[in-house]
């Protein structure tokens, strides 16, 4: 089944711009309660995903510096330790199973590599679970 049936559209997803500062990214993650967030450029192109671990390592590595630098350093300048794979909108949900073993959502891109939303690990697992239950058991429920 096509992933667009499971897509949480961009308008409903928190994301950050690559021009955000480290502090803005930290605050966005804290406000939303997320452990990872997509990063896009001003044209909506997907750059990558920033994790709380990326930010934690940055803070630890720069803790001796002036804390005001967190208001100046752009998020695109920090090292991202994980590469969250994004997929095109033409993929099937079954193709995402391996990806969500290591990431809690899969960014979805249009044909111009613009970010259009995410498919969550929960949605993928729910689909797989329902697909495994035989119709005879569904009828008894």
Domains in the chain: ranges and CATH: 4-137 (3.10.580.10)
**Encoded tokens for 56:** 């934690």
Q: How confident is the model at residue 107 (pLDDT cuts 50, 70, 90)?
A: very high
Q: How confident is the model at residue 7 (pLDDT cuts 50, 70, 90)?
A: very high
Q: The pTM is what?
A: 0.86
Q: Which residue has the tokens 């994301």?
A: 15
85 near 106, Cβ under 8 Å?
yes
Tell me the pLDDT tens digit for each residue of 29-54.
Answer: 999 999 999 999 999 999 999 999 99
CA–CA distance, 8 with 34 (Å, rounded to integer): 15
Q: How confident is the model at residue 79 (pLDDT cuts 50, 70, 90)?
A: confident
pLDDT at residue 93 above 60? yes
pLDDT at 114: 96
Q: Which stretches does DSSP call E strand in 1-141?
A: 8-9, 16-17, 36-40, 46-51, 87-88, 105-109, 115-120
């Amino acid at each position: 089944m096509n992933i667009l049936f499971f897509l949480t559209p961009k308008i409903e997803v928190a994301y950050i711009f690559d021009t955000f500062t480290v502090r803005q990214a930290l605050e966005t993650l804290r406000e939303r309660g997320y452990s990872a967030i997509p990063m896009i450029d001003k044209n909506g192109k997907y750059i990558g995903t920033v994790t709380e671990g990326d930010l934690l390592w940055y803070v630890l590595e720069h803790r001796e510096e002036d804390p005001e630098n967190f208001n100046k350093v752009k998020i695109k300048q920090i090292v991202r330790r994980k590469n969250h794979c994004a997929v095109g909108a033409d993929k099937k949900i079954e193709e995402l199973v391996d990806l969500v073993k290591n990431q809690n959502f899969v960014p979805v891109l249009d044909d111009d590599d613009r970010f259009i939303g995410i498919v969550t690990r929960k949605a993928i697992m729910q689909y797989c679970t329902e697909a495994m239950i035989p119709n005879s058991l569904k009828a008894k429920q």
